[in-house]
Amino acid sequence: MGRTADVELRNVSKVFDNSVVAVDDVSLEIEPGEFFSLLGPSGCGKTTTLRMIAGFEMPTSGEIYIEGRPMGETPPFRRNVNTVFQNYALFPHMTVAENVAFGLRMKRVPRDEIARRVREALQLVRLAGFEDRYPRQLSGGQQQRVALARALINRPRVLLLDEPLGALDLKLRKEMQLELKHLQMTVGITFIYVTHDQEEALTMSDRIAVMNAGRVLQVGTPLEIYERPSSRFVADFIGESNFLEGRVTGLNGQQVTVVIDDRVPVPARAQDGLAVGEQVTVAIRPEKIRLRPPGMERTDGCVRGRVEEVVYIGTDTYYLVRLTERCTVRVRVQNSQNRLDSGEAVGEGAEVLLSWVPETAMVLKA
């Protein structure tokens, strides 16, 4: 983008005392005003990465830059970032207003300005009128908003959020997702958001970094991450994928042919550096596969199979289809018609034809 990144990590590693490598050579650039998510399973190093940006942990090696300045050993209270903690960490002995005012009081902002900004911050998170309540008198969602207001009132350059919706129930979490995204666009602050929930990351983020075992595996927009996973881990962790192992037999411009179990040829999207004879994995998402009765063969890319299991989940129906003795695929078909009226289109044991647009199937090097 040309401008300096708001937050930049250069070859940052963190090794804890017990020689556990929590973060392993991570480099990231987070642009101003971006909603950036660190996504990964628990223990992948995402929270440690966030804590290093906040200043609660110091990197073992590498450097973190905030607004272009190297942070070194700068303590948390001298960094222009604020954090929303997983369990909110509201001060239980202070009222909502006192909690929100805390940061400004530490900076010795004049009293009347504090009062005005507290009022604004509470309005922003729709908690006007709750000034004199104590945190224990609030619901989880309300506490969450106080934590947000307490961080945002300081007008940080970057807001760090550590699984802030983790403790909320599903319905409230969905509401808060949209509200958070909306809030971020209103205030225009860079958000760095840690989550293990892939749906949450896809819904809210401008860009996502997928992490596993201390490393960043892929950085990209939600669309890129979902449609073009670069590794088996990413394809598996984000959404669902079928993995078909086989050998490359044909290269044809945009398309390659991979033969599964030496018998079934399937089409997939071409990729640089592939050679005929190479052992690879084809990743294909269940909803990208079309399922038709036999007898309507087209010349290219049809795969014959037998339905083993049908699972109805309301919006969609899952079919488990066997291709070879060792290979099955899951197919997800949207229930666009009333299944009670149209009846069981394809039953267990039926012969079917599977097809997909070759570009939707990713070749991952084995």
Partner 1 sequence: MALAERVETQPERPASLAARVVDWIRRRSGVKLSLVLGPGAFWLVVFFLIPLGVVLAYSFASRGAYGQVIWRLTLENYTRFFDWLYIRVFLVSVWIALLTTVICLVIGYPFAFVMARVPRRWRNALLVLVMVPFWTNFLVRTYAIMLLLRNEGLINSALRWLGIIEQPVTMLFTTFAVVLGLVYGYLPFMILPLYASIEKFDFTLVEAAQDLGANTWQVFTRVMLPLTMPGVVAGSILVFIPSVGAFVTPDLLGGGKVVMIGNLIQQQFLTVRHWPFGSAVSFVLMAVVLISTMAYFRVGGERRV
What sign has the CA pseudo-torsion 334, 340, 341, 344? positive
Query: Residue 330: what residue type?
Result: R
Q: Is 111 in the site for partner 1 (CB under 8 A)?
A: no
For partner 1, the closer CB: 153 or 204: 153
- Tell which one of 107, 111, 304, 365 touches partner 1 (CB under 8 A): 107
For partner 1, the closer CB: 16 or 56: 56
For partner 1, the closer CB: 103 or 358: 103
CB 88 to partner 1: min, Å: 9
* Nearest CA among 92, 98, 52, 105 for reference residue 76: 52
For partner 1, the closer CB: 159 or 180: 159
CB 100 to partner 1: min, Å: 10
CB 338 to partner 1: min, Å: 48
For partner 1, the closer CB: 55 or 220: 55
Start-to-end CA distance of the chain, whole Å, equals 34
For partner 1, the closer CB: 103 or 286: 103
Using CB under 8 A as the binding rule, the residues of this chain from 45 to 104 that contact partner 1 are: 54-56, 75-77, 81-83, 85, 87, 89-93, 102-103
Using CB under 8 A as the binding rule, the residues of this chain from 253 to 272 that contact partner 1 are: none
Q: What's phi and psi for 63, nearest 5 deg?
A: -140, 145
Using CB under 8 A as the binding rule, the residues of this chain from 136 to 165 that contact partner 1 are: 150-151, 154
Residue 356 near residue 290, CB atoms below 8 Å: yes
- In whole angstroms, give the CA distance from residue 96 to residue 149: 10
CB 51 to partner 1: min, Å: 9
Task: Establish how many alpha carbons lie within 13 A of residue 204's alpha carbon, considering only the half-sphere containing its beta carbon.
Answer: 32
CB 77 to partner 1: min, Å: 5
3 Cβ neighbours under 8 A, 6+ residues apart: 31, 32
CB 114 to partner 1: min, Å: 13
Q: Where are the beta strands (DSSP E) in the chain?
A: 7-15, 21-30, 35-39, 61-66, 69-70, 81-84, 158-162, 190-195, 207-212, 215-220, 242-252, 255-260, 264-269, 279-284, 290-292, 302-312, 316-322, 328-334, 351-355, 362-365
For partner 1, the closer CB: 82 or 355: 82
Tokens matching residue 227: 């449609």
The dihedral formed by the CA atoms of 293, 295, 301 and 303, expressed in degrees to the nearest 10: 60
Residue 23 near residue 187, CB atoms below 8 Å: no
CB 159 to partner 1: min, Å: 11
CB 22 to partner 1: min, Å: 17
CB 55 to partner 1: min, Å: 8
For partner 1, the closer CB: 55 or 164: 55
Site size for partner 1 (CB under 8 A): 23
Helix residue spans in the chain (DSSP H): 46-54, 96-106, 111-124, 140-152, 170-187, 198-204, 222-227, 232-237, 339-342
For partner 1, the closer CB: 150 or 332: 150
Residue bearing tokens 């598996």? 236
Cβ neighbours of 157 (radius 10 Å):
16
- Residues forming the site for partner 1 (CB under 8 A): 54-56, 75-77, 81-83, 85, 87, 89-93, 102-103, 106-107, 150-151, 154
